[in-house]
């Protein structure tokens, strides 16, 4: 029978060979040797053939529709510097700067699923934030172009969707309410509400959120609420609801089980196939997920080590002294054998490994691939239609949606609700006991004034303390939602 194996061709394959058997009374030995490899497209694997994934694929095609606005994202000579917090300087001297990205140039193609990979601290998230208009806390230089034309940060944020690594969602909302809020505030105002809610139902079914759509999300660390994987899928659904032309994702598979991670990546692959530009940073992808990537960008020490088709990377490293063994996940081979110098048994081996990585970085910087990429980035293009994505929800809609969420937040946060009820009962009892013998004459006017002052101060301070205690929790949510354009300043 065919033996399942992974080869350096970076596609799911089956090894087909003839078997010679030698039988005796003691044992039976079968020798299998390879004769040829037959590539099996990913769409024909067992996971892709499952009825649930086929149904989800049809839903996704209906959700995306036939309209497409492909956008090629290119970046040239990106350099990111941040203050070095570990450096020791005098009280009046400015700290030296640490380079996170160094002369990074590349292209994210429309219709392709691009993965950014690299070891911890290589600059993956920094590169994603820089291209997506989310860079902060440092000095960023270089250029980012959409379809060959420079765009400002506000335009970038309107044209793309960004799924952050940390899932910042109001914990007192249900999954359905969170996705519905994103649909109401981020979809065009002229779209009927019924169409928006239909999109919400489609997105819930595409990402398999039916079982938890009416559950309160909860906060990380709490026993109640949805799981970490469901939380991640809710965040992805809130961004995909806008059907963006460009989608950036920071660690979209973190916290997900194998099947859910495969399902999410297959959704991203199909979005890319529909003409979208999909870019994701990812750690430890399985072999099935790795073979979904169209393009691969490898980072090391803030510089590009490889950029090109994912199916070609194993041959690229094999010709440079790092062949990928059979039965090995290509992603594991890249992390363990190409990028990692911690497995060296001595300082001499570690130094040799670092020199090998530095050699690969220098070789790519001088390669024809990099020169062609640099020339391609410099070619001007038609740009993007900035007016088509310039809309914002009405003030009345924003107020109604946010007031509804605030009401649910006040009711569903049972600890605060119980504290408010207990505080009101206690203060009412206290004021009643203090002023229970008030007379109805001229002498009691001052006492009545004091009672009214006491009650008004208590009501005012109680409301202020409630806002102050909730500010720390809701501020992060507010900043995240405002940055993605859910609402604006009044």
Question: DSSP string covering 378-437, please?
Answer: HS------SGGG-----HHHHHHHHHHHHHHHHHH-HHHHHHHHHHHHHHHHHHHHHTTT
Q: Which is nearest to 335 in space by CA: 364, 361, 357?
A: 357
CA distance 276 to 246: 6
Superfamily, domain 73-389: P-loop containing nucleotide triphosphate hydrolases (3.40.50.300)
Cβ atoms within 10 Å, residue 234: 26
Domain ranges of the chain: 1-40, 73-389, 413-483
Say what the pLDDT of residue 30 is.
Answer: 35
Q: Which residues pair with 297 in a beta bridge?
A: 116, 307
DSSP 8-class letter at 486: S
- Residue carrying structure tokens 């090894």: 15
**Strands 139-146, 113-118: pairing kind:** unpaired
Per-residue pLDDT tens listing for the chain (490 residues): 333 333 333 333 333 333 344 444 443 333 333 333 334 444 444 444 555 556 666 777 777 765 567 889 999 999 998 887 776 766 666 778 888 898 899 999 999 999 999 888 888 999 999 999 888 778 888 889 998 888 888 888 888 889 988 888 888 899 999 999 999 998 888 899 999 999 999 889 888 888 889 999 988 767 778 888 888 889 989 998 988 889 999 998 887 888 888 888 988 898 888 888 999 999 889 999 999 999 999 998 899 999 999 989 888 888 888 888 888 899 988 888 888 766 666 777 778 878 888 888 998 988 888 888 888 888 888 888 766 555 778 888 999 999 999 888 888 877 777 888 888 888 888 888 888 887 788 778 888 888 888 888 888 887 787 777 777 778 888 888 887 778 776 5
Residues in a beta bridge with 29: 22
* Cα–Cα distance for residue pair 174/213, rounded to 1 Å: 6
338 by Cβ neighbours in 10 Å (0-12 / 13-18 / 19+) ranks as: buried
b/e map 339-368, b = 16+ CB within 10 Å: beeeeeeeeeeeeebeeebeebbeebeeee
Element (H, E) at 349: helix 347-365
- Residue 27 confidence (pLDDT): 39
Q: What was the pLDDT predicted at 38?
A: 39
- How deeply is 369 buried, as exposed, middle or buried, from its count of CB atoms within 10 A (0-12, 13-18, 19+)? middle
What pLDDT is recorded for position 55?
67
- Return the pLDDT at 42: 45
pTM score, two decimals? 0.77
User: For residue 388, what pLDDT is reported?
Assistant: 56
Asked if 410 contacts 416 with a C-beta cutoff of 8 angstroms, the reply is yes
pLDDT at 53: 59
DSSP symbol at 243 = -
């Amino acid at each position: 029978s065919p033996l399942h194996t992974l080869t350096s061709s970076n596609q799911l394959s089956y090894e087909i060979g003839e078997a010679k058997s030698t039988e005796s009374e003691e044992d039976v030995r079968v020798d299998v040797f390879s004769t040829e490899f037959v590539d099996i497209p990913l769409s024909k694997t067992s996971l892709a053939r499952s009825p649930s994934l086929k149904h989800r694929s049809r839903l996704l095609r209906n959700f995306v529709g036939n309209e497409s606005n492909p956008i090629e994202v290119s970046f040239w000579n990106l350099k990111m510097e941040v203050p070095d917090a570990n450096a020791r300087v005098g009280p009046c001297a400015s700290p030296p700067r640490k380079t996170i990205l160094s002369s990074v140039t590349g292209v994210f193609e429309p219709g392709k699923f691009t993965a950014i990979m690299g070891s911890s601290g290589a600059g993956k998230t920094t590169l994603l934030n820089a291209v997506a208009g989310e860079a902060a806390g440092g000095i960023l230089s270089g250029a980012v172009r959409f379809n060959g034309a420079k765009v400002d940060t506000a335009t970038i944020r309107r044209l793309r969707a960004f799924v952050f690594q940390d899932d910042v969602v109001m914990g007192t909302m249900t999954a359905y309410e969170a996705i519905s809020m994103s649909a109401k505030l981020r979809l065009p105002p002229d779209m009927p509400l019924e169409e928006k809610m239909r999109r919400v139902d489609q997105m819930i079914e595409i990402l398999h959120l039916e079982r938890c759509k009416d559950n309160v999300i909860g906060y990380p660390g709490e026993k109640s609420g949805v799981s970490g994987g469901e939380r991640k899928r809710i965040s992805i659904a809130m961004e995909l609801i806008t059907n963006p032309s460009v989608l950036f994702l920071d660690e979209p598979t973190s916290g997900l089980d194998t099947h859910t991670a495969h399902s999410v990546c297959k959704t991203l692959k199909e979005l890319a196939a529909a003409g979208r530009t999909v870019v994701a940073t990812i750690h430890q992808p399985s072999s099935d997920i790795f073979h979904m990537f169209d393009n691969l960008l490898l980072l090391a020490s803030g510089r590009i080590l490889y950029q090109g088709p994912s199916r070609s990377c194993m041959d690229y490293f094999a010709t440079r002294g790092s062949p990928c063994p059979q039965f090995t996940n290509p992603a594991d081979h890249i992390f363990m054998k190409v990028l990692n110098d911690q497995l060296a048994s001595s300082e001499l081996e570690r130094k040799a490994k670092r020199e090998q990585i530095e050699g690969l970085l220098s070789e790519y910087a001088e390669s024809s691939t990099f020169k062609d990429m640099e020339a391609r980035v410099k070619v001007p293009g038609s740009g993007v239609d900035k007016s088509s994505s310039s809309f914002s929800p009405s003030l009345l809609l924003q107020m109604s949606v946010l007031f509804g969420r605030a009401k649910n937040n006040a009711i569903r946060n049972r600890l605060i609700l119980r504290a408010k009820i207990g505080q009101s009962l206690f203060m009412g009892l206290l004021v009643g006991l203090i002023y229970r013998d008030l007379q109805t004459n001229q002498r009691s006017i001052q006492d009545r004034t004091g009672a009214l002052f006491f009650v008004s101060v208590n009501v005012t301070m109680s409301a202020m303390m409630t806002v102050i205690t909730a500010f720390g929790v809701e501020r992060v949510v507010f900043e995240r939602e405002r940055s993605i354009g859910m609402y604006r300043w009044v």
